Structure 1
């Protein structure tokens, strides 16, 4: 079987497994599934809305092939005639502001000059930062990375810090995670292991988030915390529309626009010249949106 066909079939099965796990944890929300086809290929957009815990989320699969355009060559830095790509991309926006937003993507890309690579990662964007949660999340990522290469976590954690960053705000999107791109077979891990690595991340994703759902799904919250959640969602929208390379590539390549924009929350807000109160949970969260924090060993300063 062609490599990319096998990868695509595996990712498609993982999409279903992720949806089933999240539906079970939510207890109400059900993923609607829309199969789409275009000249370049197709996929399945799976969207969940108005669940008990998940307000809006998506777990999308795609498998596309087509001609390289000049715009795509500029984005990818590769000269080729044709490309093929497959992957899963998921994002979950919770109802409860105590719960974080989470994003996961795994993908495989090949061009006809015999070059191919894997990319992806998982990152966490809490509305109200909790260092203990951040530490547990990063430790889970490190443990998964270490099974394949002990250099992966420090390298990909730094990459995520730099990638999930809003330069016009001088703040990170959240508490990071891992991000990697152009991970080519043999540099330093062989093809089968790299593929297995992406599969392991896709399986870790629902395990991590269902833990948050159990911990925070029914926790009481205030109107003030809900307002803060909307402001943090606004930052999320800014990143996805201005900085995110996956969004840009999807639109440039003629992908399914509705599927690409499922990353956006149902509601978000912007407040002119917002400044948090001194000593507030809003200020504490903003103070933790910085690059370079060693979350696994992080110790908050005593109040």
Structure 2
């Protein structure tokens, strides 16, 4: 199915870019097409200096090759030969009252014939809005429930564990869902059924996120809130450079560096031993950056 999956991901990139541009209302995507050194390539699309989005990327790739055995072992790959395709999205808004978001859907097939899907969606509010957090998780649960009764609880826990900075003892944001190495044999589903689930996850992203954006897009903000935004973006950078599997896979397989690192914001900051003021909105948000919050019932 790899050609069918690749074609769908390519078309999904087009539809998603259209939705993001419509949401921003001013900026458009710049596209770079590139070729991978061992086979295939991709389309990197970046939006910058928009009315809503300071920087964002929607990347498509379909690459193949034979990676070094040491790299394959690090990535738990059963074979060095691989084909990988997917779409990855990160959006960094101008307004600190609009959350950062990330989405990724991917398919990987190795030389042994084993194939699996991975992906997920998560949200990183700079300032937590409890109602919006609940709405976000309700939408993800609705998509999961259409395909398996335990997908939301299972993949929500996986997201809590994955989008976590152990050196900070905090989650990157309010999580979402995350899944990796979903194989037909282990899930007791066909490849077609797993693909239908991944398509549904991808298609839910734009309407869910743009609903939150449109609720917050005209809210005023001040310098203090921008400062907190830059500090929280610093945490985002730490996760993507230290822990993110997609970043590691891209670098280990000789991917295009500019495309791999498009997830990083234009501006971020680090302050030595910064602690939010007691009782502040910043402290309230930070107190929610932990695993196992029941976002469907919070508030």
Deviation, structure 1 residue 267: 0.1
Trace 1:122-201 onto structure 2 (pairs within 5 A). Answer: 122-186=121-185, 187-201=187-201
SS in 2 for 1:206: helix
Trace 1:71-86 onto structure 2 (pairs within 5 A). Answer: 71-86=70-85
Residue of structure 1 equivalent to 2:42:
43
Q: TM-score, normalised by structure 2?
A: 0.97
Residue of structure 1 equivalent to 2:290:
290
User: For 1:120-162, what per-residue CA distance to the aligned partner results, in whole angstroms no more than 9, with x for missing partners?
Assistant: 0000000001111111000100000011101111000000000
Hey, which bits of structure 1, 4+ residues long, moved more than 2 A?
none
SS in 2 for 1:219: coil
Between the two proteins, the alignment pairs up a number of residues equal to 297
Q: Distance in 2 between matches of 1:202 and 1:264?
A: 21
Check if 1:15 corresponds to 2:13: yes
For the 8 Å contact 2:61–2:86, the answer to whether it is kept is: yes
Query: Which blocks of at least 5 consecutive residues in structure 1 are unaligned?
Result: none
SS in 2 for 1:296: coil
Residue of structure 2 equivalent to 1:270:
270
Check if 1:56 corresponds to 2:55: yes
Q: TM-score, normalised by structure 1?
A: 0.96
User: For 1:68-94, what per-residue CA distance to the aligned partner results, in whole angstroms no more than 9, with x for missing partners?
Assistant: 322332233133141000000000000
Q: Distance in 2 between matches of 1:144 and 1:31?
A: 28
Q: Distance in 1 between matches of 2:207 and 2:70?
A: 37
Residue of structure 1 equivalent to 2:231:
231
Q: Distance in 2 between matches of 1:175 and 1:229?
A: 15
User: For 1:187-219, what per-residue CA distance to the aligned partner results, in whole angstroms no more than 9, with x for missing partners?
Assistant: 132211111111111111111121122111121
Deviation, structure 1 residue 25: 1.3
What's the Cα RMSD here? 0.9
Q: Distance in 2 between matches of 1:81 and 1:250?
A: 14
Check if 1:90 corresponds to 2:89: yes
Q: Distance in 1 between matches of 2:147 and 2:58?
A: 25
Q: Distance in 2 between matches of 1:34 and 1:252?
A: 21
